Amino acid sequence: MSFGGAVLGMIVSLKNNKRKKVSAFEKLERFQKENRDKLYFNKSASKKELERIRLQTLRKNRTRFINNSIALFIIFSILLYIAFVFVDS
């Protein structure tokens, strides 16, 4: 009788399923009880630093958009070229 592996797997699966499952509502209640403190930040940024960070983020987003647009254009061009080559043949 060579069904020991399948039976063993079933037994392990049943044992793992017997654990106590925590509901989402219990997790939410516990989270709300633990985190009633106000947020505290010990570092602060000046308006000049915030403006520099904002400009840096805008610059990164702009370059990322341009790069994605170029990549999309290249892929579209290649697909269009392939479509014309196969349709023409």
Contact 51, 43 (CB under 8 A): no
Confidence of residue 8 (pLDDT cuts 50, 70, 90): confident
Kindly report the CA angle at 23 between 18 and 27, in degrees rounded to 5? 125
Tell me the per-residue pLDDT of 9-48, one tens digit each, with 9 for 90 and over: 888 888 887 777 778 877 777 776 665 666 677 888 899 9
Tell me the per-residue pLDDT of 70-86, one tens digit each, with 9 for 90 and over: 999 999 999 999 998 88
19: which DSSP letter? S
**Domain residue spans in the chain?**
23-88
Cα separation, 44 vs 61, in Å, equals 24
> If 0-12 CB within 10 Å is exposed, 13-18 middle and 19+ buried, where does residue 42 land?
exposed
Confidence (pTM): 0.47
